Structure 1
Amino acid sequence: MNDEEVRPRQRFLALDTATAVMAASLLEGSKVTGEVNVQGERNHSVHVITELERLLSDAGVSGRDITGLAVGVGPGSYTGVRIAVTAAKTLAWAWKVPVAGVSTLHALAWGGWAHGQTGLGDKSVPLQASAVQWIIPLLDARRGQVYTGLFAANGEQAPVRMEQDGIRLMTSWVEELKRRLTDTDEGSRPRVLWFVGETGVHAQTAAGLEAQAAVQVVPYELEGGWVGRLGADRLLNGEQDELHTLVPNYTQLAEAEANLLRQR
């Protein structure tokens, strides 16, 4: 009998609005029992509460049954990130339950890599189960920039973080990855690099790493289940964020703020 079987039933609600998808999920322990992913053109404030209510209703549960909340804190759309964080903090306060923030890019990396394992990548690469694989999630930040990070695949578990989330020029990021690959000893060097997420305009730049490793490019939209699984990992381990100090990870100033600083 595992720990989850002897604990009281724990239901978690997770949401993320940092991308073009309003992604949400419902979990019992670490098991995803419901999920909704709605394209909103980053106008998620219109339907986020309605979709969460529908998710709970379809599962036959209410806010009184929720024992914890998980929320994607970005990086991503400046306005979008705030919607999910504000909604999660409000619900956590109203329901008097803990809230745990998770990286949107971490969830994107996990989901995109899992999606790629189904053979939906743009190439077929035979792999041994023990083969080292790196995952590079991408969210387009315009002007040749991406929100990105670096993770190592970890089987069925959440990918292991190797680099902090940030906004980078895609060309510079590829050069940095080249240097990192060169400096990595042979036994730890990845056989495959997975670029997942909003890959469209950046696929050609990513291909510049094909001399170092097999490059898999997987267009992928975030799904709520992966946000939920990351959040459940934290909540089941007794981790949570302080409600009033939980803030989005913007990684850069909003354009309006940057313009104001330049004017000054």
Structure 2
Amino acid sequence: MSKTSTIQVEKVNAHIVNWLKTYADNAKVNGFVVGISGGVDSAVTSTLCAQTGLPTLCVEMPIHQAENQVSRGREHIEQLMKKFSNVSRAEANLTPIYETFKGEMPKTENNVKYNLSLANTRARLRMTTLYYFAGINGLLVAGTGNKVEDFGVGFYTKYGDGGVDLSPIADLMKSDVYALGQFLEIPESIQKAAPTDGLFGDNRSDEDQLGASYDELEWAMLEDEKGCATEQFSGRQKEVFDIYKRLNFVNKHKMDPIPVCLVPTSFKY
């Protein structure tokens, strides 16, 4: 179930950069702000934004962050600033804010729900921070979600990292993002690092949380788009397909438009 990207990286890169620049020009905004995590998605997104020539602000937002995630993010930002004069950086240490919030909230005996709620709180604090920087600088918040995360398994926080103005790489599979990252020469440390959302203050990977690798989930997403059913698979393939279908179902509330209760016209007039 390994997946090799088939995208034409040079053309895809030029297309996304042009799309970003056109969108920003039409929206009459100055440029972009990107949250930097030390992962491949934010590294590729920020590099795409930088290539527009428009101001691109890279923001670090540590909350009890693992040191290797912090160091990878800083390595990327430093490399990007050497290549592009339009790139700047900012850091907002959100650990004190997070701890204050945590101290004011009631605890629950359900540790799984408690820890997940706090993890999502981290993502929402970061979203609020990015929109603050966007507001004072006239920038758009660029999302860093890829296609598998955003439209396959819904692996993001609603109104957290899912709260963005535009999504440059959301039509790219994770393997495509890696291919683009290699083309853009993002730091080797990021290209080799196991993907992680960094929301739990440790080194647990996305695969640890999802139960499948991105290569496996890409395979399942493509099989699902073909209309395949779980009965067609066995062994690890069946296990992965079931994981994909379950996550796709339980996270529909993130991926579908917010439901609106439409009141009959006859009740209004």
Give TM-score scaled by structure 2 length. 0.31
| Larger strand share, 1 or 2 | 1
